[in-house]
Chain A
Amino acid sequence: MTTEAVGPMTSRARVLAALRREPVDRTPVCNPTSVATVELMDLVDAPFPLANRDPELMARLAATSYTELGFDSIMPVFSIIQESSALGCNMQWEQKDNWPTVRMSEPIWRDADDIRIPNDFLLHPDMVCVLDAIRILKKRFGDEVAIIGKTMGPWTLGYHCFGVEAFLLMSLDDPGKTKLCLDRMKEATLQFGLAQIEAGADALTLPDHATGDLVSGEYYARYLKDLHVEFAERLPVPLILHICGRTIDRMDYIAQTGMAAFHFDSKNAPDESMTVMHDRIALVGNINNPETLFAKGPEVVRQEVLKNLEAGVQLVGPECAIPLQTSIENLLEISQTVREWHGARGRAH
């Protein structure tokens, strides 16, 4: 953390500086996964599932994080399923009040040789939707606000395309084959990431769900660390790695990847996480979703925001994609608390 004076910044400049761990005029408010809610869908008439498949609706709903909630970033990719849809997974697009999801019980691949990234991968309507939404947002907001894209990591694609249980058992039974699969699937991550950068994304979230609720920190080091280093080298914008759940045991590895930031879960204490990261990578997070943002009121939200600010977390926001029934009131409290905290202290961060 620095206390040197910094002039007023645009939201975009603020987010990008924080991702570089450079001085900012105030802590940016950011959710690199999703802030879509039913209330926001109603507000701008952009409901699920259409807002996941129509670029104009996607852009309109995504923009509410900036225009309605006072966040410093816009994330148009609400879910984690666009690539899997393009790869041929069976989808369940759901309704307005539920997330679209991949039918993982109907795997499309069983072996490394089954893995095919289609030649027209980026031309699939669900990919084009994201790319067009980013272009729309870039045109609408220019350099005012940070437009963050999202490309799924190969571990998550493995869950979707092989099925979670089959993929995890393969990782135990045949580490060589698992590494080969990850290496082949990474092409999807890279292609979609590069296409979003070309469309105008300022940064990319890279979810890769090697969560402590499923696999060990050693697993992260064995299977993913090198791939994440490669992504950081080959995708020329700041990358925000997202892994849910307990991750403190792998944060040291994550800090060595060259990623700009790590979006962390409320199961990890902000101060302890900051200590582990030791200024090698920025942190984004980590306000609890189900118990705080969904179930409690603004005062509890405020306390969690303050805990992150006091710990020096570089970008403050929800821990993950928020439940669709979360109230706007609670989400507004995040940016309001951040502004008040900086106002009261009269200092930069």
Chain B
Amino acid sequence: MAQLSDITNAAIRREIEDFLERPEEIARTVELFARVSPLMQEIAAALIEGDNGAVDRLTVQALDQSVEALEIMDDGLIAGMGIVGIKFRESFIFVPEVLACARAMKAGMAHIEPILSAAGVEPIATVIMGTVKGDLHDIGKNLCIMMLRGAGFEVIDLGVDTSDDAFIEDVEKHCSPILGMSALLTTTMPNMGKTIEALIDADLRDEVQIMVGGAPVTQEFADDMGADGYGKDALDCVALAKRLAEAAG
């Protein structure tokens, strides 16, 4: 079993010591970072710091050293976002800090995505994402999309203020997709239920797995609305999407 001291990067060690509390998460994170190269640790540390300039530079450096794009994404960028997600979940950091980390991740992904696209990597599943009708907030949705894409999903982003018809149109277009709906306002949350009803009316409910999320949304509300799952944050969203994709076969 790997030890904290096996991780060469002091900043990553500090992050684990200061912010991770659950034993299984500590063990998994130590195992991960003890395995990856010092350069990947450095990319992850820069991402956690929200330093987009450093992530940009280090990603280019890694590619120049012939490190695989997939390795940079998994062992540097996504590994870093894993710690960011835990810090957000535990309220050590808030949305501005997460946005800075996301900006750093985007700086790295700008170099990685074209390489992965050209390689034609098969996605795990297709996820259709949109903020519900009447709601123009998209920070949470965009973070989820970034993490889903990083985790290997193809994501169709319908943007904000998404009508039932727009959701239905894209569900019809794609085979057995996952549908993700987001809402930030308690006043617009009921529109999740209206969209699910519209899918039932269109005879499409059984064709799609539905996940919902957003700051005011809860598991109870998701159940009441008839969703298949609820994701508390972007990390949860990815784990949920993987479960739903498996369930859909």
Contacts and interface: CB of A to CB of B under 8 A. Distances in A.
A binds B: yes
Q: Kindly state the interface size class of chain B when it binds its partner.
A: 20 to 34
A216 B94 contact: yes
A165 B187 CA distance: 21
B220 A291 contact: yes
A105 B141 CA distance: 14
B61 interface: no
A325 interface: yes
A94 interface: yes
Interface stretch (A167-175, A273-281, A308-316): A167-175
Interface string A84-126: 0000000010100011011111000000000000000000000
- If over half of A's interface residues share one DSSP class (helix, strand or loop), that class is named, otherwise mixed; here it is loop
A217 to B, nearest CB: 9
Contact of A325 (B138, B161, B184, B190): B190
A57 to B, nearest CB: 19
Contacts of A325: 190
Interface string B133-163: 1111111001000000000000000001100
A169 B103 contact: yes
Q: Kindly state the interface size class of chain A when it binds its partner.
A: 35 or more
Interface in B200-216: 215-216
A279 to B, nearest CB: 27
B91 to A, nearest CB: 8
A101 B136 contact: yes
B136 A103 contact: yes
- Of B91, B142, B190, B224, most buried by chain A (CB within 10 Å of CB) is B190
Given A105-B160, A172-B97, A245-B215, A98 B186 contact: no
Contact of B186 (A94, A105, A164, A320): A320
- If over half of B's interface residues share one DSSP class (helix, strand or loop), that class is named, otherwise mixed; here it is loop
A291 B139 contact: no
A291 B219 CA distance: 11
Contact of B190 (A105, A321, A323): A323
Given A171-B96, A323-B187, A290 B161 contact: no
- Of B96, B97, B142, most buried by chain A (CB within 10 Å of CB) is B96
Given A105-B160, A323-B190, A92 B221 contact: no
A319 B185 CA distance: 12
Nearest to A321: B187
Interface in B88-120: 91, 94-97, 99-100, 103
B50 A172 contact: yes
Given A289-B186, A323-B190, A98 B96 contact: no
Contacts of A290: 186, 189-190, 216-217, 221
B186 A102 contact: no
Given A101-B134, A323-B189, 17 more contacts: A99-B185, A99-B187, A103-B136, A168-B96, A168-B99, A172-B97, A212-B91, A213-B95, A214-B94, A216-B94, A219-B96, A289-B187, A290-B189, A290-B217, A291-B218, A320-B186, A321-B186
Interface of B: 50, 91, 94-97, 99-100, 103, 133-139, 142, 160-161, 184-191, 215-218, 220-221, 224
The 10 closest A-B pairs by CB, nearest first: A213-B215, A98-B134, A172-B96, A168-B96, A289-B186, A214-B95, A290-B189, A290-B186, A216-B94, A215-B94
